[in-house]
Structure 1
Amino acid sequence: MEPMALILTALVAGATAAAKDTAGTAVKDAYNGLKHLLKKKFEGDALAQAVVDAKPEDIDKAEGLLKTKITEFSVEKDTEILRAAKTLIDTLNSESVIQGGSPYVTVGGNFQGILGNVNTEKGDTHITFG
């Protein structure tokens, strides 16, 4: 997965999951860790920091701005942030499976990042959002 997509996917998925009562401590900790690193990287830019703290739907709406800020601050080259984003996605997936669900975030093949359930059959991709 490209670094930009990894960061955006982790941030939106983490915000969505952390807002739910069923989110476990590991998910909340991983999400807060990613947010902390991003806000530290965006130090001095109140707008970028506000987007990181926003609700999932607002982060989605501000995707263009966030992409610009990620590039401007070279966030996509920060290995600590990339590692935190990957850890968050892995934590979301493992917690979802433990609770009897399917993976929360599935990435593979040519996918950049997809929220929801993804089933692949002979090259066709079926996406179900739920």
Structure 2
Amino acid sequence: MSMDVITEAIIVALANLGKDVIKNSYNALKSAIKEKFGSDSDVVNAVEGLEKKPDSEGRKVTLKEEIQNSKVNEDPEIHQLAQDILDKVEEKAQAQQNIHQTISNPKNSSISGSGNASIGSITEHNVSDNQ
């Protein structure tokens, strides 16, 4: 099922609500939809239904239909809020990629980069005291 940006953003945001930056962006998107279409609109009801059962394929299809029926995609502000969510999730995914580096001589090596890093383990093999 191909999705529009807004439906995709809502689905992705619901899967990432544990991250404050995503939660804040999602709340902004949902508020904008409520403001423009009304708290009792079919599209808001579809969003809230998916919130209750975010893994439900049927509710995802219903949301997609309501996004199309209400022409939410035609609203540039809502479209931008949705795109912001997708961009933030992508940034988080890229930042969390694991890097595996094998160093043959740990006494004379360096690694550079930006962002946060953690070291899972360091194991030295063939260590000699005569170096």
TM-score bracket, normalised by the shorter chain, equals 0.5 to 0.7
Tell me the equivalent position of 2:113.
Answer: none
Task: State, as a whole percentage, how many aligned pairs show the same letter.
Answer: 27
Answer whether contact 1:11 1:85 (CA < 8 A) is retained.
yes
- The one-letter amino acid paired with 1:74 is K
Amino acid paired to 1:17? N
TM-score when scaled to structure 2? 0.60
State the one-letter code of the partner of 2:55.
E
Q: How far did 1:48 drift?
A: 3.0
Instruction: Supply the RMSD in Å over aligned alpha carbons.
Output: 2.3
Give the count of matched residue pairs: 94
Give ranges in structure 2 of 5+ residues lacking alignment: 99-131
How far apart in 2 are the matches of 1:10 and 1:33?
A: 12
Shift in Å, 1:43: 0.6
Q: Which residue of the partner structure matches residue 9 of structure 1? A: 8
- Structure 1 unpaired stretches of 5+: 102-130
Structure number having the greater strand percentage: 1
Correspondence list, 1:1-130, <5 A: 5-18=4-17, 20=18, 23=19, 25-43=20-38, 45-53=40-48, 54-55=51-52, 56-58=54-56, 60-100=57-97
* Residues 28, 81 of structure 2: 8 Å contact kept: yes
Structure possessing the higher radius of gyration over alpha carbons? 2
Per-residue deviation, 1:72? 2.8
